[in-house]
Structure 1
Amino acid sequence: MSDLENPQDLSQDHPKDPALTVHLNGSGGSIKGWVVVDSLVDGLAMGGTRMTTGVTEEEVAGLARDMTEKFTLAGLRIGGAKAGIVATAANSEGAGREQTFRTFGRTVKPLLHGGIHLGIDMGVTPADRAVFFDEAGYDPRYRLGAPDMPIDWRTYYEPLIDCTGHGVGVAALTALEAGGRTEPARVVIQGFGAVGRAVARFLEDRGHLVVGIADVQGTISADRLPVADLVAITDEFGRIDHSRLPQHVTVSREPDAWLDVDADLLVLAAQKYALNAENAHRLRARVVVEGANLASSAEAKEKVAASGAALVPGVIANIGGAGSAALAVTRKVPFELSHEARKQWVFDWVADRVRLNTRDLLDIAASRAGNPLPELLAARRQELFG
């Protein structure tokens, strides 16, 4: 019997309070933040750590709920969690940044050692994760009651940095195919962080045209953008060096100008509620894929559905990073494989789950009106928990 006694309570139509909410004030230092554990399965939960200036407890709770749904849809026996740290000028750079994550590590140490695995999310890098793991004395290789991981966490996880983008790309291709499209699609990518860059490369490699890319400074567009050239002038946080842009591109600094680019496919790979009730009417693409968490508001999803466009939510498309980490934490990965074979196994596993869930979601959406996600979640819960 798992700790998740009634999985039906986790549907969007039956909201419940999180299993656990911890307010972070800091141990041996000052931070402001939260850890929300939405659900526990077999004593385990996991999710990323976000550090932004505007993060709130409500946002962290919503992200933790998303993690529960992601793992349910992926067929993984682990609950959903999330952490959020409020970023300030003092704690975001240099020594202040390192001190923030050391304080965070000391504060969440009991949670990490107690089965709540916290990884990385928006505003937090693999180097930051290494700092708070070190400060907490936490090594995911070892957990009471589970076999040891035979390889270092970084050796396993860091080669999988593009796994989320790979899954988002698979969701996009699957949705395009379901809509009967056979010719190259015009693609706009909103957000050019790790996920946005990986999706751009993935789709370009398969013959699609990236015609628009948005970062925090504006929207770049052209009949065909040179993805490799733009990746080369982009920093780790997704900021493109606009002083080095190719001459043939157009730049718009108008808000949400990415919605105005003529495109067949829109990938949302940046901030929360990028697509919302105020701007959804400007949508031109007939396929929308959420590559970020909480990328569209509920009102926007309703407007997209009413327009006849297809939307693949992040709980289906954005599973790569979380899923690959959960596969290791739950010891599902065949660690005996060689480095490259193991990496390929994880990428294939993610692609298979994303493809299946995308097809099933779109089949449900085609068969009846309304949000198809609760029905798909109910089916996957039944498969996972009986």
Structure 2
Amino acid sequence: MPSHTPLIKMTWTDHVTGRQGHLVIDRLVRGVSSGGLRMREGCTLGEVADLARGMTMKEVLHYNPESRYIPLGGAKGGIDCDPRHPDAHGVLVRYLRAMRPYIESFWTTGEDLGLTQDLVDRAAAEAGLVSSVQAVYPLLDDEAAARKRLADAFAVDVDGMGLDELVGGCGVAEAVLTALDHARVTHRGTRVAIQGLGTMGGSTARFLSRAGLSVVAIADIKGTLVNEAGLDVESLLRSRDAHGGIDRSAMRPADREMPGDAWLTVDADVLIPAAVSYAIDATNQGRITARWIVEAANMPVLAKAEELLALRGTAVLPDVAVNSGTNAWWWWTLFGDIGADADEAFAHIRRSMRALVDQVLARAQADGTTPRAAAHAVVADRLPLIAERFGWYR
């Protein structure tokens, strides 16, 4: 993607606690940008800027001139606070109040690391906002119908999990299956290790286990659960707390608990970092033996680590493609490309993600590059088409 300076980079300081929050608007399309809000201790402006750039790429990768959903620009918000801290909710509400003019006008946001959509929605209401995505409403043909369609979609439950929680994992799982198909590897029995059992990690684990893959390790904040014969994913999902922590009473006799970083080194074909950014660095990458790393989290693999992994034959499927399904589902639903129906949503996500990952892997093979470089090349091809149609800043 061509280098450029974000339209807006700003840091806010909470007058009550002194904690800081950040907002970066990387790009506007039709006057609007899209990107979630994360909350984690240590979140920086540089991190948020990188995430905002990634959001621009995710939007561009889903550009289809025949869809009702026309990709938006990229943006991101971040708050430097542990979401479990007693101050967290108050800081979140005050941040949203401070960012209200941006959210009302041109930044649509939602859940990300450390925050669920329910928490964002409740805090947004306390901050006096109509919705965290209200900036997109003027672009809708029928705002009332669109908002009802999205609300109905959020109310859909699939075997105890909300549709909004499942769509991202559906996309990640389809990326994994597409990579296996490219390599002519059988799905059943392929071993998977996942870091994180929150929204993205949990839903990914469900879809992959139901596709016949064996989830042999899952890490949470307390450690890594391992079972070489496969963990009982559904039981562990039912035991989770609001932050993805697993109740150890749900472990079976054959399950073992290992240190938190053990998910990196277990005997697995596929590693799925689905929690924090910067999880795989130049040091710990040397312990990885998996054939694929599939980035369900944002920016979990550092550039030097990816370079070294590529030399050893481990492919990294990049976040800008892999975890883009959640964002796209919101807009497909709101703009009316799909309805408030789980089967329709999953089918649309699978088709779109398979086409996207197929294109990225084929481009990487043709160009002799990594999947990330190929994804960036696809963005570079499509970005001028969007700019020609909508302009660079409007």
- TM tier, shorter chain? 0.7 to 0.9
Quick check: 2:111–2:117 contact (8 Å CA) kept in 1? yes
Residue 99 of structure 2: SS of its match in structure 1?
A: helix
2:288, 2:7 → 1: CA distance? Answer: 37
Question: Which shows bigger deviation, 362-371 or 203-212?
Answer: 362-371
Q: CA deviation at 1:375?
A: 1.8
CA distance 1:146–1:287, shift in 2 (3 Å): same
Residue 67 of structure 1: SS of its match in structure 2?
A: helix
1:268, 1:115 → 2: CA distance? Answer: 31
Alignment of 1:234 onto 2:243: no
Quick check: 1:188–1:261 contact (8 Å CA) kept in 2? yes
2:60, 2:3 → 1: CA distance? Answer: 15
Corresponding residue number in structure 2 for 1:372: 374
Q: CA deviation at 1:25?
A: 2.3
Q: CA deviation at 1:318?
A: 0.2
Corresponding residue number in structure 2 for 1:164: 168
2:50, 2:168 → 1: CA distance? Answer: 19
Quick check: 1:18–1:36 contact (8 Å CA) kept in 2? yes
Q: Per-residue displacement from partner, 1:196-229 (whole Å, max 9, x unpaired)?
A: 1111110111111111111122221112111111
Quick check: 1:26–1:107 contact (8 Å CA) kept in 2? no
CA distance 1:28–1:157, shift in 2 (3 Å): farther
Residue 263 of structure 1: SS of its match in structure 2?
A: coil
Q: CA deviation at 1:28?
A: 8.3
Corresponding residue number in structure 2 for 1:344: 343
1:298, 1:219 → 2: CA distance? Answer: 25
Q: CA deviation at 1:157?
A: 3.8
Residue 43 of structure 1: SS of its match in structure 2?
A: coil
Corresponding residue number in structure 2 for 1:19: 7
Q: Per-residue displacement from partner, 1:44-66 (whole Å, max 9, x unpaired)?
A: 10111111111011111111111
1:266, 1:136 → 2: CA distance? Answer: 41
Choose the corresponding residue for 2:79, options 61, 69, 85. 85
Q: CA deviation at 1:361?
A: 1.4
Corresponding residue number in structure 2 for 1:284: 289
Residue 119 of structure 1: SS of its match in structure 2?
A: coil
Choose the corresponding residue for 2:304, options 291, 299, 305. 299
CA distance 1:28–1:265, shift in 2 (3 Å): closer
One-letter code aligned to 2:110: G
Q: CA deviation at 1:353?
A: 2.4
One-letter code aligned to 2:347: D
Quick check: 2:9–2:24 contact (8 Å CA) kept in 1? yes
Corresponding residue number in structure 1 for 2:102: 111
Alignment of 1:273 onto 2:278: yes
Corresponding residue number in structure 2 for 1:218: 223
Question: Which shows bigger deviation, 345-354 or 53-62?
Answer: 345-354
Alignment of 1:125 onto 2:116: yes
Residue 36 of structure 2: SS of its match in structure 1?
A: strand
Corresponding residue number in structure 2 for 1:179: 183
1:249, 1:199 → 2: CA distance? Answer: 20
Where in structure 1 are there 5+ consecutive unaligned residues?
A: 1-10
Corresponding residue number in structure 1 for 2:57: 69
Alignment of 1:264 onto 2:269: yes
Query: Structure 1 length as normaliser, TM-score?
Result: 0.87
One-letter code aligned to 1:333: G
2:74, 2:343 → 1: CA distance? Answer: 25
CA distance 1:368–1:155, shift in 2 (3 Å): same
Q: CA deviation at 1:231?
A: 1.2
Residue 219 of structure 2: SS of its match in structure 1?
A: strand
Q: CA deviation at 1:237?
A: 1.1
Where in structure 2 are there 5+ consecutive unaligned residues?
A: 64-69, 156-162, 389-394
1:344, 1:100 → 2: CA distance? Answer: 38
1:268, 1:251 → 2: CA distance? Answer: 18
Q: Per-residue displacement from partner, 1:161-195 (whole Å, max 9, x unpaired)?
A: 21100000000000011011125211111111111
Alignment of 1:316 onto 2:321: yes
CA distance 1:49–1:28, shift in 2 (3 Å): same
1:208, 1:258 → 2: CA distance? Answer: 16
The RMSD of aligned alpha carbons is: 2.3
1:114, 1:26 → 2: CA distance? Answer: 22
Corresponding residue number in structure 1 for 2:35: 47
One-letter code aligned to 2:138: L
Q: CA deviation at 1:349?
A: 2.9
Alignment of 1:359 onto 2:358: yes
Q: How does 1:138-217 map to 2 (within 5 A)?
A: 138-139=130-131, 140=133, 143-144=137-138, 146-147=140-141, 148-150=143-145, 151-152=147-148, 153-157=150-154, 159-184=163-188, 185-217=190-222
Question: Which shows bigger deviation, 186-195 or 122-131?
Answer: 122-131
Q: CA deviation at 1:384?
A: 4.2
Query: Structure 2 length as normaliser, TM-score?
Result: 0.85
CA distance 1:352–1:92, shift in 2 (3 Å): same
Choose the corresponding residue for 2:128, options 136, 142, 167. 136
Count residues with an aligned counterpart. Answer: 364
Quick check: 2:62–2:71 contact (8 Å CA) kept in 1? no
Corresponding residue number in structure 2 for 1:332: 335
Residue 123 of structure 1: SS of its match in structure 2?
A: coil
2:329, 2:265 → 1: CA distance? Answer: 35
CA distance 1:344–1:261, shift in 2 (3 Å): same
CA distance 1:73–1:149, shift in 2 (3 Å): farther
Q: CA deviation at 1:107?
A: 0.8
2:332, 2:294 → 1: CA distance? Answer: 24
Quick check: 2:226–2:255 contact (8 Å CA) kept in 1? yes
